Amino acid sequence: MEITFYIRKDIFWQDGTPYTANDAKFNWDFFKYNAVPRYTTTWMYIDHVDVIDDYTVKVTTTMTSQFLVYDIAGLAAYLPPNVWAPLNNTGLPNILAYDPSTDTNAAGMGPWFGTDGGASTRLFGTGAWIFDYWDPVGQVWEVHQNPGYFQLTEEIVAQKATMFHEVGDVNWDGEVWADDRGTMGSKYGKFWFMPEYLADADVNLDGVIDVIDLSLANFHFGELREYPTP
């Protein structure tokens, strides 16, 4: 199977470096040739990658699968080459031991690195949110909005609302509370083809309202989508 990806021309890594077809190839080759175990079920089917031009890249696989298209696309922008290229072919233990979230070295990084809007550590990607820090005791991530993201602020806010809905905010009111669990309970066991099925209560979108949905609401019970600024 041959998959051709046409890349947007307004995508940047969060350090300000443009994202191109060569970056996609770097990611796929890095996972495959370093045999990164977590993504084996994707890279094992990649035969080779050809860069057509700066914004066009073709992947040839050893099997045909609609789902493989999405899996391969999902691995295209995990690793900024200017961060990970020095670790390429240094051995899997060395690669897995590296923690970019603690690395603030600006050498070789793009123009946004270390600025108010850009990434402050080498843990960065291309998405709407930029990592600031992780509190392992409080289990809290701190992020800020990526000012160089290609979507509008309104679109990002809508994306955040959708992400929070998917952890248990059934009624989309910005809080996971008893009413969300109550709605899930009243629709428990209903499948997508049943008249009683409520799509909003199926927060993990697997076609059935079950213990997984309830577990998400229980785990995140009491959480808010937006917290007041201290």
Which residues make Cβ contacts (< 8 Å) with residue 57, sequence separation at least 6?
4, 5, 7, 21, 24, 25, 49, 50, 51
192 and 133 within one domain: no
pLDDT of residue 5: 98
Residue-wise pLDDT tens for the chain (230 aa)? 999 999 999 999 999 999 999 999 999 999 999 999 999 999 999 999 999 999 999 999 999 999 999 999 999 999 999 999 999 999 999 999 999 999 999 999 999 999 999 999 999 999 989 999 988 888 788 999 898 898 888 888 898 899 999 999 999 999 999 999 999 999 999 999 999 999 999 999 999 999 999 999 999 999 999 888 76
**203 inside domain:** yes
158 and 144 within one domain: no
pLDDT of residue 172: 97
Q: What is the DSSP string of the chain?
A: -EEEEE--SS-B-TTSPBP-HHHHHHHHHHHHHTT-GGGHHHHTTEEEEEEEETTEEEEEESS--HHHHHHHHHTTTSS-HHHHGGGTTS-HHHHHH--GGG----TT--TTTTSSSS-SSS---SSSEEEEEEETTTTEEEEEE-TT-SS-HHHHHHHHHHHHHTTT-TT-SSB--HHHHHHHHHTTT-BTTSTT--GGG-TT-SSB--HHHHHHHHHTTT-BSS----
CATH number of the domain at 47, please.
3.90.76.10
98 and 8 within one domain: yes
Q: How many domains in the chain? A: 2
**23 inside domain:** yes
**226 inside domain:** no
pLDDT of residue 230: 64
